[in-house]
Amino acid sequence: MGRQIEEQIAGRFPVGQRLRVLDAGTGDGVQALRLARAGHHVTALEQDPGALEGVRASLAAEPDGIRERVRLVEGDGRDTGAHFLPGSFDVVLCHGLLSGARDPDAHLAGLARVLAPGGLLSLVVRNTGAAAMRPGLAGDWHGVLAAFEAPEGERGARSGLDALTASLAGIGAPLQEWYGVGVFTDASDGAAPQVPAQGGADTARRRELLLSAEERAGRTDPYRTVAGLLHLCGVRGG
């Protein structure tokens, strides 16, 4: 997803602009650190104090200039009004937070509130429309049948592509582009595809080929429709 974020940023902001970024549900802070190293000012929002401590420990190993560009805040997407002014961020990331949220619409509304006009909203959610694919690829036929038989609420209907497209339009940040993440490999919420290690001297080359295949499939129908995760990018109007 790092390449996709870079592509969207490059396509919407002047080259070299130092952006104000909110990483909601930052988790281990990998994406936040990546953007800070690129020169952007990043606020990492996380409700788990233990996760924030982990990010703080990672930051301690970074140069002063990068540490100064990262701010850590305890909270979640619904709390943005308590921490930030409207329109405070040029880019808002929400990678994995919505899939487990009890009220995803409240999170989306909170994130939209702090997104500046013309700003980029990046969401990563489970692909509930292809819930049977992951267990099927693993040969877990009980899991396949359970995915088909699960009630609509348990499948997380609000994180489906159609529902989120409607939600993005409703908060004034209509969908501009979407990708599949983890077409050929396993993917967990908000994380990059887990590429299996290969032995031998060609390990790096094999990994690069697999990542390139993932990148291509994640942009191409019908392959992206069966990915483990969906990556949606909306742009705030006005």
- The parts of the chain modelled with pLDDT lower than 50 are 155-158
The amino acid at 43: T
11's CB contacts (< 8 A; 6+ apart) are none
Strand order in the sheet with 41-46: 70-74, 41-46, 20-24, 89-95, 115-126, 229-235, 175-181
Residue-wise pLDDT tens digits, 101-156: 778 888 899 999 999 999 999 999 988 888 898 899 889 999 999 988 876 555 44
Q: pTM of whole model > 0.95?
A: no
Is 140 inside any structural domain? no
Does 141 map to a domain? no
Instruction: Say what the pLDDT of residue 196 is.
Output: 58
pLDDT of residue 152: 58
- pLDDT score, position 60: 95
Tokens of 97: 């937070």
Instruction: Give the pLDDT score at 194.
Output: 59
What integer pLDDT is reported at residue 195 of this predicted model? 57
* Domain presence at residue 149: no
Residue 21 in any domain: the answer is: yes
In a domain, residue 143? The reply is no
User: Residue 99 falls within a domain, yes or no?
Assistant: yes
CATH number for the domain including 16?
3.40.50.150
pLDDT recorded at residue 101: 75
User: How many domains does the chain fold into?
Assistant: 1
Q: What does the pLDDT read at residue 156?
A: 46
Whole domain around residue 75: which residue ranges?
2-128+156-235
pLDDT of residue 170: 93
